[in-house]
């Protein structure tokens, strides 16, 4: 079985013209890339590689098992790998058990679809780790990368009682003025507010204050998977 550094080297050979090209795409120095290849890298680095090269099989990169490139399973137009936490269990499309998947973007008004009893889900996603979710839907946008990427599918569980929301968790929020966002929740500057914290460290994404009274509907994001 190849070492972690050798697997990174394989990615460079397949997707990039050189180590320097890979360094530019990863937004790292060439010396850092050389260190990864010679010594391996940690989970955060591997997650970043997966976010930059979504065609890479996450299980292969993390464990060395399987093929380097992801493949579509069972002739379905979907192939998924856990994003927030990797494991041996894989999510599967099912039509009899699991959690409903709606082919709708959360930011685009998913909550309206969820409340419409005439709309049926595309199928069920059977993934034991998140089978306590209420539903799955799509994600667009880059503010939570690399934790949750543009095009991912997220498992949501609706929170009925908003009087206590554990901080540090990721939530999908609908505000009273019909804005929708997915952010990590932090303590606010006042006792009756929260701070919405993006994972993306780019300057265009910055924490924002949200008064607690403006939260109309809130879901906890239990997990996310890649979709191709």
Give percent of the chain above pLDDT 90.
46
How confident is the model over 145-201, as pLDDT tens digits?
989 999 999 999 999 999 999 998 999 999 999 999 999 999 999 989 999 999 998
**Residue 145 neighbours by CB under 8 Å, 6+ apart:** 51, 199, 200
Give percent of the chain above pLDDT 70.
87
Same domain, 111 and 205: yes
Residue 26 in this model has a pLDDT that exceeds 50:
yes
How confident is the model over 72-96, as pLDDT tens digits?
333 333 344 434 444 446 888 888 8
Same domain, 181 and 121: yes
129: which DSSP letter? G
Is there a domain that residue 75 lies in? no
Same domain, 26 and 98: no
State the pLDDT at residue 88: 43
Q: Which domain holds residue 19?
A: 4-63
**Residue 204 neighbours by CB under 8 Å, 6+ apart:** none
Same domain, 96 and 198: yes
Residue 143 in this model has a pLDDT that exceeds 90:
yes
Same domain, 24 and 132: no
Sign of the dihedral through C-alpha 171, 132, 116, 82 = positive
């Amino acid at each position: 079985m190849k070492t972690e550094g050798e697997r990174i080297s394989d990615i460079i050979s397949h997707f990039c013209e050189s180590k320097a090209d890979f360094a530019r795409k990863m937004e790292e120095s060439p010396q850092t890339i050389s260190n990864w290849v010679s010594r391996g890298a940690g989970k955060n680095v591997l997650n970043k590689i997966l976010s930059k090269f979504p065609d890479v099989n996450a299980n292969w990169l993390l464990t060395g098992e399987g093929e380097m490139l992801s493949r579509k399973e069972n002739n379905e137009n979907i192939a998924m790998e856990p994003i927030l936490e990797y494991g041996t269990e894989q999510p599967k499309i099912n039509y009899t058990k699991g959690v409903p998947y709606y082919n709708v973007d959360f930011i685009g008004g998913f909550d309206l679809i969820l409340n419409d009893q005439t709309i049926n889900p595309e199928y069920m996603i059977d993934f034991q780790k998140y089978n306590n979710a209420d539903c799955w839907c799509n994600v667009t946008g880059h503010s939570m990368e690399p934790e949750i990427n543009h095009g991912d599918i997220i498992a949501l569980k609706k929170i009925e009682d908003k009087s206590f929301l554990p901080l540090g968790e990721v939530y999908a929020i609908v505000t009273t003025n019909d804005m929708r966002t997915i952010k990590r929740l932090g303590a606010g500057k006042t006792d009756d507010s929260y701070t919405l914290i993006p994972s993306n460290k780019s300057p265009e994404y910055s924490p924002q204050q949200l008064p607690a009274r403006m939260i109309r509907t809130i879901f906890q994001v239990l997990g996310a998977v890649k979709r191709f």
